[in-house]
A and B are shown apart, each in its own frame.
Chain A
Amino acid sequence: MKNIFIIFTSILSIIYAQNGLEIATMVDNREVPKDIISKTTMLLTNRKEKTRNSTILSKSSNNGSKQILWFLAPSDDKGVAFLKIEHDNKSDEMRMWLPAFKKVRRISSSKKGDSFMGSDLSYEDMTSRSLEENRYKRLEDETLDGKDCFVLEVLPNDDIKSTYSKHITWIDKGSLIAVKEESYDLGGGLRKKKKFFFESISGYDVINKIFVEDIQKNHTTTLTMEDIKVDSGLDQSLFQEKNLKRLPSN
């Protein structure tokens, strides 16, 4: 009994002693699926409550550092596909297949603030956040929707040319998944509010819904992931230009 008490208090002291970087490292080291396949519905809602719906098939690997997306709907966008490969030592590679032009178009990854297909998610929002490229400060813990959360202030390093000045991120202590985030523009104004929802699939906590609100534009995006499959053994050769041109049969 005494031993259990000592272990418990040690864990508590470790938790309370953790600084921002250590929490971010824990989040970074969280066990994630090798790959994820999902069918995503993207609902865009503007300030007049007018909506636009898209359906996307997504396949990603290496914690999202390699991702390929195919638009299935609306009919006007059907067949448009997007490939992203993040590199450690050079700029990320982004290519789009535009069926109407019959061309794979290389696009710039430097404009991280660009909206992805009219949504409130920018390419930066869709890119994995590298541990070394940010500074982390732990704020007062909070309870959010009944979940005990770490609260981190994430400050992008100057050299990465982020479109944000900082993020405040709420991380569920149980799953080590970010459940809420507020992102601030370079002027320090609140730009986006994001909420993340997750479910347990094959022993992993996997995000199944993302809600993004662009405060400045009064525009929202809701991404709902369905038919989520993890560890399907995706072949790395999938993340090649040639696979953009063809909607996968599964």
Chain B
Amino acid sequence: MILKRLLFIMICPFIFGQLSINGAIKPMIMFNISDQDQMNLPFRFAQLRMGYTIGDFDLLINSALEHRWGENQSSNFILREAYATWFPSWGEIKFGRQIHAWGVADGNNPTDNLNPYDFYYMFMQGADRKIGSLSLSVISYWNNWQLEGVIIPSHVSNRLPFNEPEFPFQIPIEPTEYEDRDNSLEYGLQLKTVIGETDIGISYFDGYDRSFSLLGIDTFNIIQVSPKFGYRSTSAIGLNMVTFIKDFTIRVESALFNTINDYEAKWYNYLDAKADYVQYVIQVEYRMKSSNTIGAQIIGNNVLKASGNTLDLPNMYMTTLNTNNFVPGMGTPFAMISNKSLLVIGSNRFFDDDLELNYNLLFNMENPGQLFGLSLEYLLSDDWFINVSASYFIGNNDPINRFEQLEDYSNTQFQLSYTF
């Protein structure tokens, strides 16, 4: 009897619902251009996505197997998303570990701050470089209007590559602990509509930085110094727009951030940092006659004002925080590389669309620095692809120039993909 019941429970989903399983296996190998040595950074070897639909409900599990080659060869199972969605007639409600995507520009979205970034994948596109976080999302549709509210009960930070010599940026300090908060609830609201032929959206997010900051130092005596790390409180007001002018598509996105160290001032040296900064992306894209595309983005990060104290790390003394030494803890990762950059992206197809060439050129508009990226994807069959790509960074011999730091990260990648 119990066996029959168990069998009935197991069979039920297949009778009344719809199960879908798809995924990809993508072995990849990466070489450093300068010395042709293999780079053993982690990558997603396999991805599996399972969906189950019954009535107005969906369940989705999105997982990946992360693998690292080399001496420290290892594999980790990562549950990237696991959430349920209810689709009432007026919209959708999602709950669980999920990745959100706000903003209208491609890849670089200052208004998209709901999820932390996985910096091991910072040069990937879209949701691939984000980390899922437990949240509740409610979207309501009404004619041309769309209102979305997101609540994240507990703050999740970026995944940063500590002690990773092959990663382009070396993080000087790995905090052993972070200052706790009694309540780290975050929330966001987004309103979108269509006016004429233009899509317009405004958003607001209130939460905590995704990258850590030094908040204060407790000094017991001249030898015992205890740095205090944590996440500043940050809010962002966003604005985005998509419009069309003749054959050009214009996507504009901007966010004004306000950040403050609002931890209780209980340490010997409290760094009462406070700043306003703005990040923006202006994207113009053009589709050529042959369906090939070319687009450009201007990505900007501008610190409007900064006040309070900070620590001059190389010299270890307290100094005034200003617009030059302030480091944002939230926003688009590309703003970390440059305060103003021009990104040119294009794609062309050859050999009856079997071969796709994607290229991207990033120019630092304030200091010397360029990135040249090239990717060739060849379609072997409906399910098999082969991809060869290269990224080449050029700096200016200045050790604090981000592009100079990225020079050693210049690499070639070879990947075989099978999707099912």
Contact = CB atoms under 8 A, between A and B. Distances in A.
B18 to A, nearest CB: 6
Contacts of A109: 244
A247 interface: yes
Interface in A84-118: 90-91, 93, 98, 100-103, 106-111, 113-115, 118
Contacts of A53: 382
A76 interface: yes
A241 interface: yes
Contacts of B91: 242
Given A101-B101, A247-B53, A242 B92 contact: yes
B14 interface: no
Given A74-B419, A75-B22, A75-B419, A90 B197 contact: yes
Interface string A67-88: 0000000111010000000000
Contacts of B101: 101-103
Contact of B382 (A74, A90, A93, A242): A74
A249 interface: yes
Task: State which size class the interface on A falls in.
Answer: 35 or more
A66 interface: no
A101 B127 contact: yes
A74 B244 contact: no
A115 B18 contact: no
Nearest to A74: B382
Contacts of A91: 197, 244
Contacts of B20: 78, 247
B242 A106 contact: yes
Interface string A235-247: 0010011100111
Nearest to B285: A108
Contacts of B289: 113
Contact of A241 (B53, B146, B383): B146
Interface in A211-240: 217, 219, 237, 240
B126 A103 contact: yes
Contact of B244 (A102, A108, A113, A245): A108
A122 to B, nearest CB: 9
Given A115-B291, A249-B53, A100 B247 contact: no
A152 B296 CA distance: 43
B182 interface: no
A53 B381 CA distance: 10
A50 interface: yes
B420 A75 contact: yes
A46 B53 CA distance: 36
Contacts of B246: 110
A91 B244 CA distance: 10
Contacts of A2: none
A101 B126 contact: yes
Interface in B155-205: 194, 196-197, 199
A84 to B, nearest CB: 14
B58 interface: yes
Given A75-B22, A240-B141, A102 B126 contact: yes
A108 B352 contact: no
18 contacts: A50-B352, A52-B379, A53-B382, A75-B22, A76-B382, A102-B99, A102-B126, A106-B104, A106-B199, A108-B244, A108-B287, A110-B244, A110-B247, A113-B289, A241-B141, A241-B146, A247-B20, A249-B53
7 nearest A-B residue pairs (beta carbon): A46-B352, A101-B126, A102-B101, A74-B382, A75-B419, A76-B419, A111-B287
